[in-house]
Amino acid sequence: MIRRRLVLTILLAACSSGDGRDPSFGSVTETGGGPTMATDPTSSGSTGSESGVETTPTGGDTTPTGGVTTSTGADTTSTGADTNESDPTTDGTTGEPLPDPFPAGHVFVVGFNDRLVFEFDAGLQPIGSWTHPSFEVAEGPAGMVFDYRGYLVVASYQEFCVFSAPGEIETCHPKIKAQRTENVIFDSSRNLYTTTSTGGTDEIHKYDQNYTHITTFSLPTGNLTGITCDPVGDLFVASQAGPTSVVYKVSRDDLQVLDSFDVPGNAEGLQYGPDDDLLVALSGGVGIASVTPSSPSMVLNITADPGLLWPVPLTLDQAGNRYTGDFEDGQGAAASDLFVFAPDGSLVASRQPSELHGPFGLVVAGTSLPCGAVPPG
């Protein structure tokens, strides 16, 4: 399922240096053959460069990343002139479509304290990691999301950095305000929304798909963490307001609060579920709660694991499996555990511990969500 475009220089460097990690670090548990992906996205190809990016293989096996464009040598006649150019959707030799640089089912997780983005396969086996100079400014990266092209957007302290492939930076865009951005999502109109974090402000920043700031609006309380939306496009935003968190429903049209309801516990990540429920990551050893997304809200069920203490990021794949990362002590000092749960709450896969510390952004390639990664096109 996984095919890569190889850059010779990266392959030679990876083979000669290694990453110095112990390949036995961490343990992997899989049940039922790992997560099942229902769709396979169409690649948009890679147009980025590798300037200023460090890529590190993880777990002993080296999987080189990158892209290469090869001329086909074919002549195309246009207005009487011959033009030699390659088709960016093919490998330039066989006419086969290029492999997606972010393979469907692969899991990408930010290590906030590591200042790295980590890649795992569908069974949570490590593939590699990479960094960027923007990750070194003030503090590590936080939120992460795929854009409509299938490129990975990582929120650093000052910028949104767009990667066309693992370790290959396309460009970075300045944020309206330098601050930690725990969650970033795209809506179905390709607008980008950001929240801050625990201890953060009551502000949400809205940008267009070109990262031009549109507006900033506030909610009645601060400490804004998780953000998601329903299939119609109305937003849900979590606010840590004390022992009980508040979830606000916000109109997609005028950004006014339509509804609010309490969720017992300390809410982190949010994800609108496939059964019209709202999934809420709750710290303090609670787990992932499924609640009704309106007032008066009620808890429908809770997905828990003895090793899951402080879930922060929360997302789904196309089959409805639930992915989260454990912030452990709340500071991310200890190595994070990663979990994949089936819709019925059973454990599909886990990595305990993983190689990263302080998981914020977590995304699954090849997944289209009501609010999150939007479908290509």
Per-residue pLDDT tens for 214-234? 999 999 998 899 999 999 999
- pLDDT tens string 264-275: 899 999 999 999
Q: How large is the average pLDDT for residues 71-75?
A: 38
Q: What is the pLDDT of residue 96?
A: 66
Other C-beta atoms lying within 10 Å of the C-beta of residue 159: 22
Q: What is the pLDDT of residue 369?
A: 86
Q: Is the pLDDT of residue 125 over 60?
A: yes
Stated as kind and residue range, the H or E segment containing 287 is strand 287-291
Residue 262 burial by Cβ neighbours in a 10 Å radius (0-12, 13-18, 19+):
middle
SS3 14: helix
Distance CA 102, CA 151 (A): 8
Sheet-wide strand order for 311-316:
28-30, 347-351, 338-341, 322-326, 311-316
Q: Is the pLDDT of residue 206 over 90?
A: yes
pTM: 0.77
Distance CA 339, CA 322 (A): 8
Confidence of residue 21 (pLDDT cuts 50, 70, 90): very low
Q: What is the pLDDT of residue 364?
A: 96
Q: Is the pLDDT of residue 45 over 50?
A: no
Q: What is the pLDDT of residue 241?
A: 79
Q: What is the pLDDT of residue 83?
A: 41
Confidence of residue 81 (pLDDT cuts 50, 70, 90): very low
Confidence of residue 102 (pLDDT cuts 50, 70, 90): very high
More confident residue, 15 or 164: 164
Confidence of residue 67 (pLDDT cuts 50, 70, 90): very low
Q: Is the pLDDT of residue 27 over 50?
A: no
- Name 341's bridge partners: 322, 347
Q: How large is the average pLDDT for residues 276-294?
A: 95
Q: In which residue are the tokens 């940008």 written?
A: 207
Q: What is the pLDDT of residue 370?
A: 80
- Name 349's bridge partners: 30, 340
Which residue, among 144, 179, 170, 175, has the nearest Cα to 159 in the 3D structure? 175
Q: Is the pLDDT of residue 165 over 80?
A: yes
Distance CA 108, CA 364 (A): 6
Domain-wise residue ranges, the chain? 107-218+311-364
Which residue, among 111, 114, 74, 109, has the nearest Cα to 90 in the 3D structure? 74
Q: Is the pLDDT of residue 31 over 90?
A: no
Which string of b and e fits 104-116 if b means at least 16 CB within 10 Å? bbbbbbbbbbbbb
Q: What is the pLDDT of residue 95?
A: 62
Confidence of residue 76 (pLDDT cuts 50, 70, 90): very low
Q: What is the pLDDT of residue 66?
A: 38
Residue 243 burial by Cβ neighbours in a 10 Å radius (0-12, 13-18, 19+):
exposed
Distance of alpha carbon 144 from the chain centroid: 4
pLDDT above 70 as % of the chain: 72
Residue 242 burial by Cβ neighbours in a 10 Å radius (0-12, 13-18, 19+):
exposed
Stated as kind and residue range, the H or E segment containing 257 is strand 257-264
Task: Tell me what the pLDDT averaged over the chain comes to.
Answer: 80
Least confident range of 149-158, 197-206, 250-259, 335-344: 197-206
Across 5-9, 92-96, 120-124, which has the greatest mean pLDDT?
A: 120-124
The amino acid that residue 319 corresponds to is A
Distance CA 249, CA 260 (A): 6
Distance of alpha carbon 91 from the chain centroid: 27
